[in-house]
Structure 1
Amino acid sequence: AAVLTAPRRIEIQGFEKPRLGPRDLLMKVRYCGVCGSDIHLWEGHWNPPYPLILGHEFIGEVADAGGEALAWRGLEMGDPVAVEMIIPCHRCDWCRRGYYNLCVTDDRSIFPGNGAQYGCNIPVTRPPTALWGGYSQFLYVPENAIVHRLRGNVDWKETALVEPLAVSARAVKRGGVRSQESVVVVGPGTIGLMAVVAAKAAGADPVILMGTRDSRLELGEALGADGSVNVTEAREPVEEVKRLLGGSGADIVFETAGTPSAQAQSLKMARRGGRVVLVGLTGGRGLTIEPDSELLSSELDVRTSYLSAHAYQDAIKIIRSGRFDLDKVVTHIHPLREVDEAFRRFVSREGDAVKVLLDPWPSNP
């Protein structure tokens, strides 16, 4: 497994397979995606609990199971599965209300006041195993984890996008996208590209993508965006977006870039009475707005969307539909031992890198 031991320091370490409880599983990780959140943790943002195994965009198959687990979950050995990154406690008020992405578990082995999240806030010292992240050959799946069986033939590369697609599918739900509503997506990273896909799947029309790199914008159009605006080339990017929308702002704007400037732009691109959904994490950077002119007088509805609760099945359905050429999003695959090189490529965007996957088993098909 690739273990983050300090800021910008990852070590390959070996661990014993865990003893499984009656309803626990062990998943063989086929692929795990590199995410911008992983880079934030690698850089030391958010005070991660060292040492920990990074990785929350994983996909795999059942490798071992406790005595009751297969029957209880309706699975068989070798079944392909998607495991959600959130491990709800199922006890707190938020879990009982269905908002398990807002879980506030009282487990003191992780961040107080936060739910358990694979690859983000669970140290390798947490019992009963170290295998709490996807940068590993195996992943421990406790009884309270949420597991989705994947049916039929599985394209592992495309299905490795299920977590970021679920994040975007939840955002689309939070935005309340309806058929024929206009959408602007700010930021053509993986989450932004998946927001294009999820919005089109929900019936949005048109969908406009904003960003700074022509190659990403072209990819967004290949995935279904009806138009795009390069903010570094347009003299007035906001006005150009409005022009593409027939002169008015968008019904819904999804901000996925996670920068204060992108958030400020998003508020200006929504129509009067429109909705703005903030999705991108900023790494602690703040946003300054003028509420009277930018929010109140336009009666904007500003919402946030956090993680992927209740959206995995939507993402799986989109992948299974075959409507979108998601294979184009996965641009590079590195063996797990090349995690430093994978991070370098992801950060530098070398070779027009978009989604970079780590392969714990380099002989994967």
Structure 2
Amino acid sequence: MLLKTFGWSFAVTAAGLALAGVLWGWQGLAIVGILSILEISLSFDNAVINAGILRKMNAFWQKIFLTVGILIAVFGMRLVFPVVIVAITAKMGPIEAVNLAINDKEQYEHLVTAAHPAIAAFGGMFLLMIFLDFIFEEREHKWLSWLEKPLAKMGKLDMLSVIVALIVLLVTAMTVATNVSHGGGDKSATVLLAGVAGLLTYLVVGGISGYFEDKLEDADEDEDDGEDSAAGEAAAALKKKGGTGSAVGLAGKAAFFMFLYLEVIDASFSFDGVIGAFAVTNDIFEMALGLGIGAMYIRSLTVYLVRKGTLDDYVYLEHGAHYAIGALAVILLVTIKYEIPEVVTGGIGVLLILLSFWSSVRKNKAEGKHEQKSGDRSEVASGV
């Protein structure tokens, strides 16, 4: 199971490190290795969040996530995205931006760093919406019940997460964005525009995927409970014949938009990794290779969590991951003005994941003891 899931990650690591050693020597190999570890530490909570979404997809879309998704993650977000950002912010052509990234690495790093306020605002607002929608929703399991119970009651107010997110964005634009160190000057307008774009992206992509997911669930319920209805019988007959009924079509659309949602989440998580990578190297190819290896492990870990049913066995893991997302969102917004070491960002996420895992283990042990005592009482009562 372990080798089957992580086999490609191991192979990519070996090939990537070997390529780094050939192209850049021992120094390049070390840089690629450090960037890989950096990406994994910063994105471990991303794997847990992805697993919660990916388990709703079938095996085909899980493979798409590991193949097409990794190409988008490595070449799109770790290689092409920084160049596109430079082209847009510096108002230059794509070929000129690529030439700058290869031949004038210091200027390229400066331009990417100058674009950090917009990147942080977009990613921070997207991640903040994920966190807010989670804590404002009523859930069966509550990790920090003293906090989550009142928040779930407050969440009955329509659009509360959007209201809170907009307030946070306004406060950010009026405080940390007024005099930033990245690029200098007042970036309030830039932060507001990018933040609204991040919020709209979340609402559009998340809303469409949620719509098709709900439609799919309704169609499945009609098939299970409505055998006497003509629609239910027709859908069941189509499935038996291998046809493509509406439920199958809806499943495809739902999976497609959830795949897009996953990719946007990965993009939001990669922002801090890409920016942080400049502390290690300003070579875009070393950066793409190192961060790409780390991204491959995150995807393999996501699939592993799904196939092992880890989120069902350890019910607080999703809570820890979402709290880590909330922390990362706040950190991204704060870094618009202040420098925060990547070790702090990654450490907070890992700590919250570990605490939620420990709480899940304690819960499982307590429930196991309770079931054992109940079983003992039943045996005594029955005279066994």
Question: Which is higher, the Rg of structure 1 or of structure 2?
Answer: 2
What is the TM-score when the length of structure 2 is the normalising length? 0.28
What is the TM-score when the length of structure 1 is the normalising length? 0.30
Larger proportion of strand? 1
